[in-house]
Chains A and B, each alone.
Chain A
């Protein structure tokens, strides 16, 4: 059981005056990124690619666009949409299997990460180190420094404050930027990784003064009590609610694919008998073939059972296992659902039922 405020307790550095703070001008932030790129560090930032704002590698700092929340979350920095996990070749009776060497993953700085995306990183850590240490995820994670960015605007799909986060949460960030009224950013140092980055580029940071910060956004979600949600879910595996939602749901994977915390994946072999790759790619509980067994049996054979899994996994199963919620309130699924399914409204409804 956890209360909405509990997530804040897992911050790496406690939110008190001992937390180190520096300032960095907008120009120097760009200089920092350009310097990192020129010395071979991979810099991932929100940038427009073929018309859509996504987190992705930038060639230079001028590409960065911090104006709004990217369409997909930052999880793909650690958990790509699709990646090869081995290759195979067959010559006569000789089969050669080639491993992917995670050592080749580049040192990375992920910058401009919104609190709802940064907070999802520790959520994924728990999954990928639970019963099996995912070498691909962990190596990318180890090599990545996360620079978070506080939110000064929110829309009516944003609901981070209902799931124990806030537009100023530094959970998951190594450095956390807050925009200053006079331009530039206040930069909190939240971890040793963050401290190392600042130390290595100390010339670009200045001592913190009393410059005023831009006020943080104030999302206004409905009345959601995660404890009550969980206690209702504990006793309503069977409920007409699941049918009601699923009647509307068309069964695509858009919600899971834009989610910062969803982490289901599929593994397939693609290629020919002679050569090919084993690939890991995102899966979604909305799909009809999700959890289809080789026998032909599917324990989640109908859409109500699949949608139930989405809510149960986020607000009960993950909590049972790891003591927190598998949702950071980014609102992406609400904005993109083809049929307007609103997870914040559903969770609020459940909260009122208990």
Chain B
């Protein structure tokens, strides 16, 4: 059953981020603010990097502000200057990515000014930007969100928001896949990966896919088949799932942007569960230098080595 989500908070949040961004830019505290601007299509929004206090009056926060803007602070986005202090608007889910990037020495906390966004939820990838936010049209990640008020931001508008309530779609889907036989599960993923056209939208929006040279782009020698065919597609998505284990903070951008509707975040959520179970570790709001898959301890379980 579809329930409306209370979106009255968006206008208050919008007003607060406008004045904060204007203050920061006018006072020279930051050189740029990464936020959202309205776009041409009804209800739509797009990421923007603004540098003048005048432009701050155009910033918005709405259910169409789906992007995790942390990607613009990574070295993969060479067009965005990384010198000086930059402000970024961030939902709770985006703040985990910022913490991860700080933990991996990709960002200095002192170089960023975080404007936290109290968030009642954003639209899913299949919803039209002008769609009404309901428990049907809300992004799956929002139904699992426990932190609608960002923690640890430099500034968070004092706006109360009610989180969307509904059954977790990921938990249900993971349970369904776990109940399958390995052969059934293999056929599920084989079918999903066969849809991949290797547009790399998943990689390009991921805050943690900042490798200077992606393994998929290596051609001397070729490490992974680059053509959109079963072998290379499978290799690519498995490499990515493993490489993100313990790092992926669940922003679900990969899944949102996939033009072929591959449920990529299911892989990431499953891996996150495994890491929680095996190492009692999760990618959270605290910057952590090393996750379990890139550290070595004498007491690590060796029993799988035969």
Report A's interface with B, CB cutoff 8 A: 49-52, 71-72, 81-82, 155-157, 222, 243, 246-248, 250-254, 256-258, 266, 268, 270, 279, 281-282, 284, 287-289, 302-304, 334, 336, 338-342, 344-345
Q: B201: which A residues are within 8 A, CB to CB? A: 250, 252-254, 336, 338
Q: Main secondary structure on chain B at its contact with chain A?
A: loop
B260 and A252 form a contact (CB under 8 A): no
Closest CB in chain A relative to B223 CB, distance in Å: 12
* A279, A302, A338: the one within 8 Å of B205 (CB): A338
Q: Mark B60-84, 1 if CB is under 8 A from A, else 0.
A: 0000000100010000111110000
B79 and A303 form a contact (CB under 8 A): yes
Closest CB in chain B relative to A317 CB, distance in Å: 22
* A71, A157, A341: the one within 8 Å of B259 (CB): A71
B204 and A338 form a contact (CB under 8 A): yes
Q: B217: which A residues are within 8 A, CB to CB? A: 288-289
Bound-complex Cα distance A270 to B204 (A): 24
- For B253, the closest partner residue in chain A by CB is A338
A341 and B46 form a contact (CB under 8 A): yes
Bound-complex Cα distance A257 to B78 (A): 23
What are 16 residue pairs bridging A and B, where the CB atoms are less than 8 Å apart in the complex? A52-B195, A82-B227, A156-B42, A250-B201, A251-B204, A252-B200, A253-B197, A257-B259, A266-B226, A270-B225, A289-B217, A336-B257, A339-B205, A340-B46, A340-B67, A342-B40
Give residues of chain B (169-218) contacting chain A, Cβ–Cβ below 8 Å: 191-192, 194-195, 197-201, 203-205, 217
B260 and A52 form a contact (CB under 8 A): yes
Give residues of chain B (206-244) contacting chain A, Cβ–Cβ below 8 Å: 217, 219, 222, 225-229, 232
Asked whether A253 and B200 contact (CB < 8 A) given A281-B228, A302-B78, A342-B39, the answer is: yes
B260 and A82 form a contact (CB under 8 A): no
Asked whether A339 and B46 contact (CB < 8 A) given A50-B191, A253-B200, the answer is: yes
B157 on the A face (CB < 8 A): no
* B41, B49, B191: the one within 8 Å of A156 (CB): B41
Residue count of chain B within 8 Å CB distance of chain A: 45
Q: B39: which A residues are within 8 A, CB to CB? A: 340, 342, 345
Bound-complex Cα distance A157 to B40 (A): 9
B77 and A250 form a contact (CB under 8 A): yes
Q: A253: which B residues are within 8 A, CB to CB? A: 197-201
Asked whether A81 and B228 contact (CB < 8 A) given A248-B46, A252-B200, the answer is: yes
Q: A252: which B residues are within 8 A, CB to CB? A: 199-201, 203-205, 257
Asked whether A50 and B195 contact (CB < 8 A) given A250-B71, A340-B47, the answer is: yes
* B41, B205, B261: the one within 8 Å of A51 (CB): B261
- For A338, the closest partner residue in chain B by CB is B257
Q: A156: which B residues are within 8 A, CB to CB? A: 40-42
Closest CB in chain A relative to B186 CB, distance in Å: 15
A243 and B222 form a contact (CB under 8 A): no
- For A269, the closest partner residue in chain B by CB is B222
Give residues of chain B (24-75) contacting chain A, Cβ–Cβ below 8 Å: 39-42, 44-49, 67, 71
Q: A340: which B residues are within 8 A, CB to CB? A: 39, 44-47, 67
Bound-complex Cα distance A339 to B192 (A): 24
Closest CB in chain B relative to A242 CB, distance in Å: 10
A247 and B80 form a contact (CB under 8 A): yes
B77 and A222 form a contact (CB under 8 A): no
Among B67, B219, B260, the most chain A Cβ lie within 10 Å of the Cβ of B260
- For B225, the closest partner residue in chain A by CB is A270
* A155, A257, A268: the one within 8 Å of B227 (CB): A268
Bound-complex Cα distance A304 to B226 (A): 24
Q: B232: which A residues are within 8 A, CB to CB? A: 270
